[in-house]
Chains A and B, each alone.
Chain A
Amino acid sequence: MIDRIGEVIEASTTRFRAQREELDNPPAFGSFVKVPSGPDITSYAIVYNVYETSIDASRRPMAMGLTEEELKAQQPQIFEMIRLEFEAAIVGFKDQGGAVKAYLPPWPPRIHAFVGACGPEEVISLTEDLDFIRAINALPGLPTDELIAAAVRVAYQNRDCDAEFLVKAGQEIAIMLKEEYERARSILRRVGHVG
């Protein structure tokens, strides 16, 4: 059973959008999530966008000039009108045999499938193969530099801050961007700022 943090409301082969039932504890940027994608397949994805929006597209929220506490006390119904959504890019999956692959699964997740947060073991096995960095880099239209740095930081923290992993991931970034030294450096700076 997935300890759910959201439910898929829109899906494609490369990414999906999920809605969270509560407004608290939104998934972090760069965090790893999982979602079933067909029979016995679990897709892994990285959260790249989190947003709060009105549940009614025709009604735009208005500035109220009150703190959150004051709002909760005076206008509690407002929070019923807001929903929290997040988007995640699929970077790998676990196949029927239980093997973790760092490339796209054959099918996208189904709408209404439940999304769960990945545990440390899953993060470790997914990021064992540093190809996940290339998978992120290949995602079109996303803040990939930020996402790579955030994903590497998460993977590092899930490994009890293994410095060796951080260097290897950094080298993968440097190899991938060997023609773009300055870009590699800027990502590495963000990767290096951990702990």
Chain B
Amino acid sequence: MSDKAADRRILGQITKGSLISGLQAKLSDNVDIEDVRIGTFAVVDGDRNRFFSLLKDVSLASTNEDILLTPPTDDFDRRVHLGVSTYYELSLQPMLVAEKDAPGATPLPSTTVPPHFSTVFEATPEDVEQVFGKVDEFHPSVGSPIFMNPTIPVCLDLRKLAMRSNALFGRSGCGKSVLARIILGYLMQTDAFVNLVFDMHNEFGWTATSEEGGSVDSLRKLLGQRVAIFTLDPKSPLYGHGQAYDFEVQVPLNEIRCSDMELLGAELALSQAQRETMYKLEERWGEKTWLARFLKLEPQEIEGAAEELGATNVETLKVLSRKLGRFKKLPFLKEAVSDDTVRRIRDYIGAGKHVVIQFGRYNDLLTYILVANILTRRLHEDYARDTDAARAEGREGPTPLIITIEEAHKFLDPSVAGSTVFGAIAREARKYRLVLFLIDQRPSGIDDEILSQVGTRIVGKLDDERDIDAALSGRPNQGTLKVLVNNMVERQFLLTGYALPMPVVIDAKEYGSFCKEMQATGGRVRGELERRKLELTGDDELEL
């Protein structure tokens, strides 16, 4: 397709507006208002520059108030006044600008507006490419702009994505997990970063449940040995039939700190008195031994323990014992473990492999928060130490690690974000080569300060106004973006932030086509394909 203006579909002409409030355009007479949709990617051709814009609103306008008082009654009257006394206005938000005579130039943020009566066009595939770039290993396509041909790619800059913590928000059923799998798949494929995924719902391992309820290939199947599966539940029906796990996660009780319990406060319904009692236990019995010792207490020993602790209510201790008793039912929590999970994770990621930690049947929030927090805290300590050491020695630090957590608001709630490792990672940005990929359906539950550190936000359909506000908080043109989010349907996502030159609403990539792409380039299958190709070239008579 050429860039000639004649090939472009005209939407209207700019009539007024400003950079801050956006541009107004009169809709062309030959465009049907019912074909114009919010979120459309549009370009405005000024004299020298092309303004890449988002259509944020359409409105009905009239030249005369009187017509609104006595509206046309018959069809002839309506047709006469249409486009004469009444017309349609488009509201556009200019985002980026590039010189028209420099095809392929990188568009920059718009600092001015196009002149009066500039023509507004529907964006072409070339415009999308000029803004979002061409597909390559570090710029995979994650979907296409809404209302455009699904073959037109919107590319995500993975290097930029990996530089900051990122978030994927959306209510359940909006296609969040599928898009998360696609993005993680691309990140894993580059080998420039390593990923650690806390896979609460068992979707990032061998297989995942498709939107239709069937089973689809997931990351391990698509990327082969590059993805290692750690599990808390080796007896889960997830494994077997050639789908094995690589490592069984066991968490030693001596790793659990009182601060970890703070995160579980809501899950365990801990009162202030119970929390304080825990700190007292930790203080008296030692950071590494308090929990194991406490869990071993028989009911009749509790009174004695209360006496030992001094000024401790026996009833409080009893309730605490009952609540923490839930830990006894978790088989992966052990007093002594056969292998150190964190060291194994370091081994795998040191070898450039990605680790997916699956929870099997223990996919309750208590387990998830506890395990994710303990493992991440140790990893963070390791990474901080290694990065500092590397810096002191003037060499490159460990491979950048992206940690994916689901139900992120449970870790980053304002009451706990200040004290957890996840809050620290989000705030430190990339200092220790660790970033987060948050997946959540309740962004309003996440601390504002953490949200402000999120570099790239991918926002799917959200129902709650507070969630939409939180998901977009601090973004420029928040009003426009909010309108877009309000009008999205399932499998549509707003991408905004650091890894994108401008916000865009996409129809997410079909999972099937992602799988095909991965199979064409991915680990296990690629090896298989190469082997077959060798066979073929070695034996000309072999028929396919």
Contacts and interface: CB of A to CB of B under 8 A. Distances in A.
B300 interface: no
Interface string A146-188: 0000000000000000000011001101110011011001001
B77 A185 contact: yes
Interface in A72-108: none
Most buried by B among A167, A181, A182, A188: A181
Interface stretch (B61-69, B228-236, B428-436): B61-69
A179 B85 CA distance: 10
B334 interface: no
Contacts of B67: 181
A179 B63 CA distance: 9
A26 interface: no
A120 interface: no
A38 interface: no
A134 to B, nearest CB: 15
B70 interface: yes
Interface in B64-85: 64, 66-67, 70, 72, 74, 76-77, 79-81, 83-85
B273 to A, nearest CB: 75
**Chain A binding surface, main DSSP class:** helix
Contacts of A185: 70, 72, 77
Contacts of B72: 185
Nearest to A166: B76
B387 to A, nearest CB: 70
Contact of A171 (B63, B66, B74, B83): B83
Contact of B80 (A174, A179, A182): A174
B64 A178 contact: yes
Contacts of A170: 76-77, 79-80
Contacts of A173: 80
A170 B80 CA distance: 5
Interface residues of A, number: 14
B308 to A, nearest CB: 91
B76 A171 contact: no
Given A185-B70, A192-B74, A178 B63 contact: yes
A167 B85 contact: no
A192 B66 contact: no
B66 A174 contact: no
Nearest to B85: A174
Interface in B490-542: none
Given A178-B85, A181-B85, A167 B66 contact: no
A188 B72 CA distance: 10
A167 B72 CA distance: 13
B64 A192 contact: no
A182 B79 CA distance: 17
Interface string B77-120: 10111011100000000000000000000000000000000000
B84 A175 contact: yes
B76 A167 contact: yes
A174 B76 contact: no
- Among B63, B77, B79, B84, the one with the most A-chain Cβ atoms within 10 Å of its Cβ is B84
Nearest to A170: B80
A182 B81 CA distance: 13
B77 A188 contact: yes
Contacts of A174: 80-81, 84-85
A188 B84 CA distance: 13
A179 B80 CA distance: 15
Given A179-B64, A181-B67, A192 B84 contact: no
A107 B76 CA distance: 39
Interface in B53-67: 63-64, 66-67
Contacts of B64: 178-179, 181
Nearest to B82: A171
Contacts of B85: 174, 178, 181
Contacts of A192: 74, 76-77
B77 A181 contact: no
A167 B80 CA distance: 5
Contacts of A188: 76-77, 80
A165 to B, nearest CB: 12
A167 B74 CA distance: 12
A175 B83 CA distance: 10
A175 B64 CA distance: 11
Contacts of B66: 181-182
Nearest to B76: A192
A171 B85 CA distance: 9
A170 B74 CA distance: 13
B268 to A, nearest CB: 70
Interface string A56-86: 0000000000000000000000000000000
B82 to A, nearest CB: 8
A179 B72 CA distance: 16
Nearest to A194: B76
A181 B70 CA distance: 9
Contacts of A166: 76
Contacts of B77: 170, 185, 188, 192
B79 A167 contact: yes
Nearest to A179: B64
Contacts of A178: 63-64, 84-85
A175 B84 CA distance: 6
A182 B68 CA distance: 12
A167 B83 CA distance: 11
Interface in B22-62: none
Nearest to A169: B80
Given A166-B76, A192-B77, A171 B70 contact: no
Contacts of A167: 76, 79-80
A147 B537 CA distance: 88
A175 B66 CA distance: 14
A175 B74 CA distance: 18
A182 B72 CA distance: 11
Contacts of B81: 171, 174
Interface string B232-270: 000000000000000000000000000000000000000
19 contacts: A166-B76, A167-B76, A167-B79, A167-B80, A170-B77, A171-B81, A174-B84, A174-B85, A175-B84, A178-B84, A178-B85, A181-B64, A181-B66, A182-B70, A185-B70, A185-B77, A188-B76, A188-B77, A188-B80
Interface of A: 166-167, 170-171, 173-175, 178-179, 181-182, 185, 188, 192
Given A185-B72, A192-B74, 5 more contacts: A167-B79, A170-B77, A174-B80, A188-B80, A192-B76
| Smallest CB-CB A-B distances: 7 pairs | A170-B80, A181-B66, A174-B84, A192-B76, A171-B84, A167-B79, A181-B64
